[in-house]
Structure 1
Amino acid sequence: MAGNGPPPKARKARRNADPIAQTVLRWEHAEAPELPDFRIERDGDLVEFVWPERTREWWQMWVDSPQAEHFGSSDWQYLLDTALIHARYWQGNLSLAGELRLRVAEFGATPSARARLRMVFAEADDADQGRGRSGGPSARERYGNLRMMPGGKAKGSA
């Protein structure tokens, strides 16, 4: 008979709803630019800026990184500015370490940064065929033929 029991719970609106609507952008993939040639002022003269070899290696690491396929043009521009900070750091300006650390974290440079950004390596399962990190046989392969002893108790259990 209808009407018995407590009334259904009313659906309550979320109180912590975002006050500003989300903006959806059209995805635009951008190719990595080369480190640019430019001049800087030194002692009143304009001289060619020389990228440290370490910064060139660092830049190539980003170009080849899995994250790069998700970078748009503004990401590459921000990373170019970060490359200049990286170069200055490797030229001895250690006061830039904090800014460099913050900037590379935005791109998922470390395991903790990738975890914070909720990045995972999709090919990891494919590479080990689901066998885990060791590359050895899976638990199903190791223990798949084990069966319960008659009487329901595993051998050695109390």
Structure 2
Amino acid sequence: MAGRGPAPKPANRRARRNASSVDGKVIEIQPSEQPTLPTFYVTDVDEEGNSRKRKFVWPAATKRWWDMWARSPLAADFTENDWSELLDTALVHARHWQGDPKAAPELRIRAAKFGATPEDRARLRITFAQADEADEKRRVSKPGADARGRYKGLKAVD
């Protein structure tokens, strides 16, 4: 079944092209290394109101998540500021894996800003080079793979 509604106008006939009215600013970045998950202490309050400090223990899932970001091709361009934001996100990730259901929406929003899922990367217009190479190989290896190629060489009969 085809899409709903009329076909879109050709791009050259559209009245509105949504071009940016402000030129972008190009800056040189200074990528930085991923920091380690920090050691810190939290204060617990018991039922009687007494407080005690204890060392925060990062959940194993958060440690794996942090290591995954270190191996991500996206991390090659992360600046010190990016790692700082991702470190804050790691704390939200830890809260989520420690059973805090209120942390899930915040974790989703924060991780999306870094391109965590294929949908997030599509929204951020991030494409992995392997995908481009695979598309090119597919076009070269199967000349009749697209619609025009399938009908190439056919002639209309009167």
Name the TM-score, length of structure 1 as normaliser. Answer: 0.71
**Greater fraction helix:** 2
What's the secondary structure of 1:94's corresponding residue?
coil
Mark the runs of 5 or more structure 1 residues left unpaired by the alignment. 1-14
Question: What's the % identity of the aligned pairs?
Answer: 46
Question: How far off is 1:25 after superposition?
Answer: 3.1
Q: Identify which of 82, 86, 110 aligns with 1:103.
A: 110
Aligned residues: 131
- Letter of the 1:96 partner, please give it: A
Q: Identify which of 74, 82, 85 aligns with 1:75.
A: 82
Instruction: Name the larger-Rg structure.
Output: 1
- Please say if 1:17 is aligned against 2:24: no
Name the TM-score, length of structure 2 as normaliser. Answer: 0.71
Mark the runs of 5 or more structure 2 residues left unpaired by the alignment. 1-18, 46-50
- Please say if 1:61 is aligned against 2:68: yes
Say what the alpha-carbon RMSD is for the aligned residues.
Answer: 3.0
- Letter of the 1:89 partner, please give it: H
Q: For 1:25-71, what per-residue CA distance to the aligned partner results, in whole angstroms no more than 9, with x for missing partners?
A: 33110110111111111121111000000000111111111110111
In the alignment, the residues of structure 1 paired with residue 155 and residue 82 of structure 2 have an alpha-carbon distance, to the nearest angstrom, of 60
In the alignment, the residues of structure 2 paired with residue 16 and residue 119 of structure 1 have an alpha-carbon distance, to the nearest angstrom, of 19
Q: Identify which of 11, 32, 35 aligns with 2:37.
A: 35
Q: For 1:65-118, what per-residue CA distance to the aligned partner results, in whole angstroms no more than 9, with x for missing partners?
A: 111011100000000000000001100101111110000000001111101100
In the alignment, the residues of structure 1 paired with residue 41 and residue 104 of structure 2 have an alpha-carbon distance, to the nearest angstrom, of 23
- Please say if 1:122 is aligned against 2:129: yes
In the alignment, the residues of structure 1 paired with residue 124 and residue 89 of structure 2 have an alpha-carbon distance, to the nearest angstrom, of 19
- Please say if 1:49 is aligned against 2:56: yes
